[in-house]
Structure 1
Amino acid sequence: MTKPPHDADARRSVEPVICYPTDSLPQPDMDLYHAARESMQQIDQVIVPPREAQTFQVPAGHFFRITSIEGPQVGDLNLWSATDLNERFYSGKTRALHGTHLTTGDRMWSCFPHLRPMATITHDTLDWYGIDAFGSSVHDVIGTRCDPYTNNLLSDRQYHHCCHSNLTRAIAHHIGLPLTEAETHVHDVLNVFMCTGFTRDTGQYFMKASPVRSGDYLEFFAEIDLIGALSACPGGDCSAEHSSDTSPCYPLEITVFQSKGNVLNSWRPPVKNNYDKSHGSE
């Protein structure tokens, strides 16, 4: 290790600065969403089997809910614009704006050049968890998704029920593309119900048993027309490993709701980002 300079302590003690202050970030109208929730009725339901993934669609202005229905289970969520698969969830920018873990009032933002809200979290039954003594919390946007490539790199084996592969099969079936082409649309996820953090000594990404129990749910308001894909992670509650045929795994339920009143009559989907895309060219 390099010998510390004479001013090492002074350099370490410099106060941090938030990269993206969000004082001017457009805020969701949570009062409006809560009012719309009061009259919502279920219009669709999808069950995601253990170690598999399923797709679903949600029209703009509707709600969708991911529920643990039989036992503690983590899910990996991808979102796309229903009219353009190139507009998809951007976990990195969502993390930069809202932090490492999401909860009520936070939004899932789409990728460049669109950069607009895709969905807003309207209810989280695990919001009580907060940040624990290990520095971990739930619903993270720091893990990429378990995948067969990293699995092969570390274990030299072929495993096909990683969330990446599950999501690839699901979206391939939904849009009728070959697996190789569909795979290019799979992207970094919102790890629903997953409890994660970074170790303080080595800075490594860690997971621990999810606090989710049957009946817990994470609920969203669809800001635009959405296609979603959800994988029931092969790690179950991710208390031991996340690419496994031995971990106890359970199904997840996706329900779609429509608000039946006129509360949302004045609501409009967010427009795409207004940057002129000139990138400084003359």
Structure 2
Amino acid sequence: MKYPAQHPAPDDADDRRAIPPTVCYPIDSLPRPDMALYTAAREGMEKVDELLVPARDARCWSLPASHFCRIVSVEGPQVGDLNLWHRDDLSERFYSGKTRALHGTHVSTGDRLWSTIPTVRPLATVTDDTLDWYGWDEYGGSVHDVIGTRCDPYTNHILNGVDYHYCCHSNLSRALADFTALPVQEAELLVHDVCNVFMATGFMPDTKQYFMKASPVRPGDYFEFFAETDLIGGLSACPGGDCSAQHSSDTAACYPLKVQVFRPAEGTLEGWKPAPRNGYSRTHGR
């Protein structure tokens, strides 16, 4: 709900609104991923790991550099909240805000998932997406968003006045603690804003509030990305199921998600190197 305007529009209000926008981060100079290289590496790739993320729960896994990862719908329409951390430095993690600024509100094949300051480098490149046909719907929505945060028990408590322990934030906190042997209170501080895999979202045309709608995902659909460095992945099967009506819920129909890790075909990544750390000197002009 927006507070109503308290001041009259000036005489030139229409002229001010009519000023054309400028893209904040033009990406013409951004290094482009070599999609042909990834395509060649995908042909003949070998599955080397697989795990099932139970409904209303989360799991973490190791994802070596130069490997592919697929998040797969297996039983029914289900949204997944994805976190990524550098395997050897958990302070370097997925930066949804910078990814959004560079690639837009939703990501698909050819887009990259960037890391936090000071490294600011691609952690992963999206290499295949069976929902790329969806595009933009009549409500301005699309899939795989980097807009939302993740459902969390703190906001849920403010809005609903109850303690709910299976929000994606809670699930990811426990999963990272289990995977790293960190206390859950420390792991929680490393959980971060997500890539909402399979989630259909946008902004309401009047209030510009973040909306969700039934995900178009069906069993067999997948979202695939390539690890540009050594990673730990974390995925929560959202307690909102397909997020058609609610999240942080024990009543929504929820399903597991499958995670698969693939080793590229031998000899197909000649010349590829892990993404280097950002080249900024960090002198801050001093």
TM over 0.5, shorter chain: yes
SS in structure 2 at match of 1:185: coil
Please report the TM-score for the alignment, with normalisation by the length of structure 1. Answer: 0.99
SS in structure 1 at match of 2:169: helix
* Residue of structure 1 in register with 2:43 after alignment: 38
Equivalent in 68, 71, 82 of residue 63 of structure 1: 68
Q: Check if 1:106 corresponds to 2:137.
A: no
CA distance in 2, matches of 1:39, 1:221: 15
Equivalent in 16, 23, 41 of residue 21 of structure 2: 16
Once the two structures are TM-superposed, the CA of residue 153 in structure 1 deviates from its matched residue by 0.3
Q: How many residues align?
A: 281
The alignment-based identity, stated in percent, is 64
Structure 2 residue identity aligned to 1:159: Y
Structure 2 residue identity aligned to 1:141: V
4+ aligned runs moved over 3 Å, structure 1: none
* Residue of structure 2 in register with 1:270 after alignment: 275
CA distance in 1, matches of 2:87, 2:270: 22
Once the two structures are TM-superposed, the CA of residue 254 in structure 1 deviates from its matched residue by 0.2
Structure 1 residue identity aligned to 2:204: T
Once the two structures are TM-superposed, the CA of residue 178 in structure 1 deviates from its matched residue by 1.0
Q: Check if 1:145 corresponds to 2:166.
A: no
Any gaps of 5 or more consecutive residues in structure 2? none
Q: Check if 1:80 corresponds to 2:80.
A: no
Structure 2 contact 115–122 (Cα < 8 Å) conserved: yes
Any gaps of 5 or more consecutive residues in structure 1? none
Structure 2 residue identity aligned to 1:128: W
* Residue of structure 1 in register with 2:161 after alignment: 156
Please report the TM-score for the alignment, with normalisation by the length of structure 2. Answer: 0.98
Q: CA RMSD in A?
A: 0.5
Equivalent in 20, 32, 37 of residue 27 of structure 1: 32
SS in structure 1 at match of 2:189: helix
Q: Check if 1:261 corresponds to 2:266.
A: yes
* Residue of structure 2 in register with 1:230 after alignment: 235
Q: How does 1:196-211 map to 2 (within 5 A)?
A: 196-211=201-216
CA distance in 2, matches of 1:226, 1:233: 22
CA distance in 2, matches of 1:175, 1:54: 12
* Residue of structure 2 in register with 1:186 after alignment: 191
CA distance in 2, matches of 1:270, 1:222: 9
Once the two structures are TM-superposed, the CA of residue 261 in structure 1 deviates from its matched residue by 2.2
